[in-house]
Amino acid sequence: MKNFAGKIAFITGGASGAGLGQAKLFSKSGMRVAIADMRQDALDNAVGEIIAYSGAKPEDVLALKVDLTNRAEYIAAADKAEEVFGAPPHLLIQTAGVNAFGPAETSTFEDFDWIVGVCFNAVVNGLVIFVPRMVKAYGNKEEFHIAATSSYAAFMGLPGNAPYDSAKAAVLNLHDSYYKALVPYGGGATVLCPQNINSNIFACQLYRPESLAPTGYNTTETTMAFLKNMHSQGMDPVELAGWLKRAIENDQLIVLPYDNAEEMLRGNYERYIKYASPEGMKQIREQDEAERLAAASFADPGVGFGAARAGIDWVHESKKPK
């Protein structure tokens, strides 16, 4: 997809962070943009920011309050965007996400239901809702493209980020499938896999549904402040959106938005090659025991970030909040 002017984009998580950066950049590229988010105040602020950045007309930016895990709400939002803009999106970007950190072995059903629900199930919802509409409207007639914001975490499994890592890996795999599936219709697919982004994902715990509140992780104001500081040092969202735009223009499936992307991928896949043989596993097991123990824990003892919820007495000492 190379031409954006006059076309339609639908962006989830578009009220802040990476999604807002995408909305700003693609709006400035001449697209009419619908942004979907569950926070009305953030949506209201985002519309003004998009217009100020891109110079778009107010009628070319549509804010939709929607719980993307609720299929009826998501369908209604898709219908509304099509009603306002007169057609389905040419570009679907699914960026909404949440995260929480703690030992994999203390994860609750609710930890998985919340994180996988937003980071993967909502992406499935968007593909099932939008792809048939896009194929019918644009298949072999106009350019169209689907994209999602996954993560560099999709290429690994970390001991303190299991629900998120697995959801992001599934998003990557799913778009690989759709990339191939859309070839007969002239469509494309791209997955963006950044590391740290300057965003407010650290605050997602404040919007976690009460029904999914039970967690096995240590989540406090201190750990949220720790995350806020970490994310403040991440890549600028508009800069990140530029990497995505160039990849879409080049029909590129995977985007690691760094100059050493090939080296990063090679290091991860060499580890998986070791996992796939007895000899390789022997090399891993022969690592220094202290190094292996450190790798097994994600917790920061200074602030309790990545530790288990207080009161879980059976977890390893290295994973308890200090």
Q: What letters, b where the CB count within 10 A reaches 16 and e where it falls short, cover 291-320?
A: eeeeeebbbbeebbbbbbbeebeebeeebb
Res 294 pLDDT > 80? no
CB contact set of 291 (below 8 Å; sequence gap of 6+): none
C-alpha–C-alpha distance, residues 124 and 130, integer Å: 10
Q: Where are the alpha helices (DSSP H) in 259-311?
A: 261-275, 278-285, 289-296
Active site residues: 164
The residue extents of the domains of the chain are: 8-310
Q: Is 292's pLDDT higher than 80? A: no
Q: How far apart are CA 22 and CA 201, in angstroms?
A: 16
pLDDT in tens, 85-119: 999 999 999 999 999 999 999 999 999 999 999 99
* pLDDT at position 154 over 90: yes
Residue 60 has, within 13 A of its CA and on its CB side, a CA count of 20
Q: Which two tokens stand for residue 37?
A: 């988010």
Residue 299 confidence (pLDDT) above 80? no
Kindly state the percentage of the chain with pLDDT values over 90: 86
pLDDT (average), residues 251-276 = 94
pLDDT score recorded for residue 215: 97
Query: How confident is the model over 14-28, as pLDDT tens digits?
Result: 999 999 999 999 999
- Reported for 58-63, long-range contacts at CB under 8 A and 24+ positions apart, including other chains, are 60/27, 60/32, 60/33, 61/23, 61/27, 61/32, 61/33, 61/34, 61/35, 62/32, 62/33, 62/34, 62/35, 63/15, 63/34, 63/35, 63/37
Rounded CA gap, 148 and 131, in Å? 13
Q: Which pLDDT value is given to residue 214? A: 97
On whether the CB atoms of residues 50 and 33 are closer than 8 A, the answer is: yes
Is the pLDDT higher at 299 or at 75?
A: 75
DSSP string, 82-105: HHHHSS--SEEEE---------GG
The mean-pLDDT minimum among 74-83, 119-128, 154-163, 287-296 falls in 287-296
SS3 213: coil
pTM of the model: 0.95
Report which residue type is found at 50: I
Q: For residues 240-263, give the mean pLDDT.
A: 97
Would you give the distance in Å from CA 284 to the centre of its chain? 30
Superfamily covering domain 8-310 = NAD(P)-binding Rossmann-like Domain (3.40.50.720)
Confidence of residue 291 (pLDDT cuts 50, 70, 90): confident
Q: What is the distance between the alpha carbons of residues 13 and 7, in angstroms, rounded to a whole number?
A: 20
Q: Where are the beta strands (DSSP E) in the chain?
A: 8-12, 32-37, 61-65, 91-94, 144-149, 187-192, 254-255
Q: What is the arithmetic mean of pLDDT over 151-167?
A: 95
Q: What is the pLDDT of residue 301?
A: 67
Arithmetic mean of pLDDT, 131-154: 97
Report the pLDDT value the prediction gives residue 77, as an integer from 0 to 100: 98
Task: Give the residues across from 63 on adjacent strands.
Answer: 35
Q: Find where tokens 């003004």 sit.
A: 48
Distances in whole angstroms, Cα of residue 287 to Cα of each of 211, 240, 270, 290: 42, 36, 16, 8
* pLDDT at residue 252 greater than cutoff 90: yes
Q: Does the pLDDT at position 6 exceed 70?
A: yes
* Mean pLDDT of all residues belonging to the chain: 95
